[in-house]
Amino acid sequence: MPQFDPALIQVMKSALEDIMTRVPLENSTPAAKAYLAECILKAAAQGQTNYDALIATAADQIQVIVALFS
């Protein structure tokens, strides 16, 4: 598991909280949040450290969440 500096951890936390506001309320579950957190962590581990890039990566997964958790 890669080590992330505190600043990047804060960016990832902000991205996760912000993207959760875009998930439909009926799909906004702990499982959905964990899924999106994993997406954000994987993106950061692959070098995406920009807030907007992390948001875009997670936003691409919202339809997957709707399909999986409906």
**Per-position pLDDT tens, the chain of length 70:** 678 999 999 999 999 999 999 999 999 999 999 999 999 999 999 999 999 999 999 999 999 999 987 7
The full set of domain ranges for the chain reads 6-68
Amino acid sitting at position 46: Q
Instruction: Return d(Cα 24, Cα 51) in angstroms, integer.
Output: 21
Q: Which two tokens stand for residue 27?
A: 């799909």
Sorted by sequence, the CB contacts under 8 Å of residue 51 that are 6+ apart come out as 11, 14, 15
Q: In angstroms, rounded to a whole number, what is the distance separating the alpha carbons of residues 56 and 33? A: 15
Q: Which positions ≥6 away from 43 have C-beta within 8 Å?
A: 53, 54, 57, 58
pTM: 0.91
3-state SS assignment for residue 22:
coil
